[in-house]
């Protein structure tokens, strides 16, 4: 399998070449040259496989530069009941007639990002050992991504993590999750500033090509193809649990921010998994909902990005969206470049409302969308507690609300649960008046010793810290 760039760069690459890279050299995103097709006989064979073996089957279609036995071993040690809490790994439960919740957040950091990041940690360790190389991952986090990356990379050979976060601005639980890690290769850097300062520092360091090369700086952001690929697996696993046979359509609703999660659903659908509808659920930051309703994609400025109670969906621009638009415009790289480089780069928007392609987003690709507010989240959390004795986190609540707006009789609707309520306790308290239950392994983590350095919002200070800690 070869990978190409959405912006038309002539080079073709193999999986392990793009594994440790971010964007393609022309600023595009990597995609496979084609989507392997899965027929009904294959679906029938996959239906009964344990999760790790299903992951191996799907990954094998996209990865041909890791020997199969090694890839199988990597999947087997990633997706274990010990790490993800159950035999099923992503158990499905019916909430009410036709509406299901697929549990994706029982991993080490209690958010669905573990599903991909845990695999990435093992793939990185494997590939770096094979090359005799090292990688220093530099990131900025306001919560979920940073902790998922740290728990995936802790103790891994050849990898160090330098994770910046805005000092004092994460929830006490999120801080405790990250800062209590005592592993030598994990470095928490609390920056005196806000999240944008952290992101600016990461950008500035990455733009210093000399420093980047010398200290082998890499990232694990959501545009990484391996992360997206790992997420394709749980659409198949959800489908098999929601149906008894492979001729029945299923729809999915996905709480969305950077469009990584739902883009994996798009890939599964392109492979031939019988997905009827992919519902994109957004909060007040509704760039994606606006596009699917109107055909206009209009990115927001930082000041127009709302701070909401589903903060992992607070985005002004969806970094993985370019992958879907590439397919929507028939993989025409020149067209894609005109939209993303000229129009979006120039005016901060593009408009497909008068284009035949826009109609295909719903018709041919099955996309629909909805938007929720803080009041909707509180109402959904209360209603789900009252009627089903089930607590959902604010992101999953956005999903449930959207799902109900797109139900079709006879078609199971699977809502992806993207985090556990304990991660967003303040909103649960606001809705219900009490704290959600905390898994036993997180009892008292706020009191554990913390491993974190405090640095000013200054690029040179962060560079100096990295240099000192990369012997």
Ligand X SMILES: *Cc1c(COP(=O)(O)O)cnc(C)c1O
Q: What is the DSSP letter of 22?
A: -
Contact call for residue 323 and ligand X (CB under 6 A): no
Contact call for residue 144 and ligand X (CB under 6 A): yes
Of the candidate residues 122, 188, 312, 370, the single one contacting ligand X (CB under 6 A):
312
CB-wise, 126 or 367, nearer to ligand X? 367
113 is catalytic: yes
Q: Which residues in the 383-422 window bind ligand X by CB under 6 A?
A: 395, 418-419
Q: How far is the CB of 288 from ligand X (least distance, A)?
A: 9
DSSP helix/strand/coil, 276: strand
Of the candidate residues 78, 109, 177, 258, the single one contacting ligand X (CB under 6 A):
258
Cβ(308)–Cβ(283) below 8 Å: yes
Contact call for residue 260 and ligand X (CB under 6 A): yes
Of the candidate residues 219, 253, 261, 384, the single one contacting ligand X (CB under 6 A):
261
Of the candidate residues 56, 225, 236, 259, the single one contacting ligand X (CB under 6 A):
259
Instruction: With CA atoms as reference, report the closest residue to 454 among 198, 200, 218.
Output: 198
Radius of gyration over every alpha carbon of the chain, rounded to an integer in angstroms: 21
Structure tokens at 432: 């219900």
Residues 140/144/145/151 CA torsion (nearest 10 deg): 110
Contact call for residue 72 and ligand X (CB under 6 A): no
Q: With CB under 6 A as the contact rule, which of the stretches 119-127, 252-260, 266-274, 459-467 interacts with ligand X?
A: 252-260
Neighbouring C-beta atoms of residue 459, cutoff 10 Å: 16
Query: Can you tell me the distance from the alpha carbon of 77 to that of 83, in angstroms, rounded to the nearest whole number?
Result: 9
Contact call for residue 221 and ligand X (CB under 6 A): no
Phi, psi of 277 (to 5 degrees): -130, 145
Cβ(103)–Cβ(421) below 8 Å: no
Contact call for residue 256 and ligand X (CB under 6 A): yes
Q: What is the DSSP letter of 40?
A: H
Q: With CB under 6 A as the contact rule, which of the stretches 96-104, 123-131, 249-257, 341-349 interacts with ligand X?
A: 249-257
Contact call for residue 283 and ligand X (CB under 6 A): no
Q: With CB under 6 A as the contact rule, which of the stretches 183-191, 200-208, 259-267, 381-389 interacts with ligand X?
A: 259-267
Phi, psi of 212 (to 5 degrees): -60, -45
Contact call for residue 146 and ligand X (CB under 6 A): no
Site string for ligand X, 108-127 (x = CB under 6 A): ---x-x--------------
Site string for ligand X, 174-213 (x = CB under 6 A): ----------------------------------------
Query: Can you tell me the distance from the alpha carbon of 231 to that of 38, in angstroms, rounded to the nearest whole number?
Result: 17
Q: How far is the CB of 399 from ligand X (least distance, A)?
A: 9
DSSP 221-284: -TT-HHHHHHHHHHHHHHHHHH-SSTT--EEEEEE-SSSHHHHHHHHHHHTT--EEEEEEEE-S
Query: Can you tell me the distance from the alpha carbon of 466 to that of 471, in angstroms, rounded to the nearest whole number?
Result: 10
Q: With CB under 6 A as the contact rule, which of the stretches 115-123, 239-247, 251-259, 438-446 interacts with ligand X?
A: 251-259
Contact call for residue 222 and ligand X (CB under 6 A): yes
Within a 13 Å sphere around the CA of 382, how many CA atoms are in the beta-carbon half? 11
Cα dist. 314→103, 230, 257, 302 in Å? 22, 23, 7, 10
Give how far the C-alpha of residue 180 lies from the chain's centroid of Cα atoms, to the nearest Å: 23
Cα dist. 354→361, 365, 460 in Å? 13, 18, 48
CB-wise, 127 or 417, nearer to ligand X? 417
Q: Which residues in the 9-48 window bind ligand X by CB under 6 A?
A: none
Q: How far is the CB of 259 from ligand X (least distance, A)?
A: 5
Identify the active-site residue in 113, 156, 368, 423: 113
CB-wise, 144 or 385, nearer to ligand X? 144
Query: Can you tell me the distance from the alpha carbon of 54 to that of 192, in angstroms, rounded to the nearest whole number?
Result: 44
CB-wise, 246 or 372, nearer to ligand X? 372
Name the residues annotated as catalytic.
113
Provide the binding-site residues for ligand X, judged by CB under 6 A.
111, 113, 144, 222, 255-261, 312-313, 395, 418-419
């Amino acid at each position: 399998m070869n990978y190409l760039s959405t912006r038309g760069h002539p080079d073709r690459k193999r999986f392990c070449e793009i594994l440790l890279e971010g964007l393609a050299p022309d600023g595009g995103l990597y995609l496979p040259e084609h989507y392997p097709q899965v027929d009904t006989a294959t679906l029938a064979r996959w239906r009964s496989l344990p999760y790790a073996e299903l992951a191996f089957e799907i990954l094998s279609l996209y990865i041909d530069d890791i020997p199969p036995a090694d890839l199988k071993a990597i999947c087997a040690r990633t997706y274990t009941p010990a790490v993800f809490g159950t035999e099923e790994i992503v158990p499905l439960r019916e909430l009410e007639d036709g509406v299901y919740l697929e549990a994706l957040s029982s991993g080490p950091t209690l958010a669905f990002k573990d599903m991909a990041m845990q695999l990435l940690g093992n793939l990185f360790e494997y590939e770096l050992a094979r090359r005799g190389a090292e990688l220093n991952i530099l990131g900025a986090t306001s919560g979920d991504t940073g902790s998922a990356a740290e728990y995936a990379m802790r103790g891994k050979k050849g990898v160090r993590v330098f994770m910046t976060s805005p000092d004092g601005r994460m929830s006490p639980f999120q801080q405790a999750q990250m800062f209590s890690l005592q592993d030598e290769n994990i470095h928490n850097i609390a920056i005196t500033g806000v999240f944008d300062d952290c992101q600016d520092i990461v950008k500035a360091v990455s733009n210093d090509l000399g420093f980047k090369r010398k200290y082998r700086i890499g990232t694990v952001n959501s545009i990484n193809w391996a992360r997206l690929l790992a997420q394709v697996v749980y659409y198949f696993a959800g489908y098999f649990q929601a149906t008894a046979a492979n001729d029945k359509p299923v729809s999915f609703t996905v709480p969305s921010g950077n469009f990584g999660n739902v883009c994996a659903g798009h890939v599964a659908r392109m492979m031939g998994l019988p997905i009827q509808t992919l519902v994109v659920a957004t909060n007040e930051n509704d760039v994606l909902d606006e596009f699917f309703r109107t055909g206009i994609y209009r990115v927001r400025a930082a000041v127009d990005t709302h701070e909401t109670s589903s903060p992992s969906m607070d985005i002004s621009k969806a970094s993985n969206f370019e992958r879907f638009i590439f397919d929507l415009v028939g993989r025409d790289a020149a067209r894609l470049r005109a939209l993303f480089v000229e129009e979006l780069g120039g005016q901060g928007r593009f408009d497909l409302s008068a284009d035949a392609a826009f109609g295909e987003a719903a018709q041919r690709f099955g996309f629909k969308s909805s938007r929720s507010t803080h009041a909707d989240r509180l109402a959904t959390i209360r209603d789900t507690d009252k009627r089903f004795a089930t607590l959902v986190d604010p992101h999953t609540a956005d999903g449930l609300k959207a799902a109900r707006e797109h139900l079709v009789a006879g078609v199971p609707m699977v809502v992806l649960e993207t985090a556990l309520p304990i991660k967003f306790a303040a909103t649960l308290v606001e809705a219900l008046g009490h704290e959600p239950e905390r898994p036993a392994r997180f009892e008292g983590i706020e009191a554990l010793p913390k491993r974190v350095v405090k640095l000013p919002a200054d690029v040179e200070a962060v560079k100096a810290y990295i240099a000192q800690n990369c012997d």
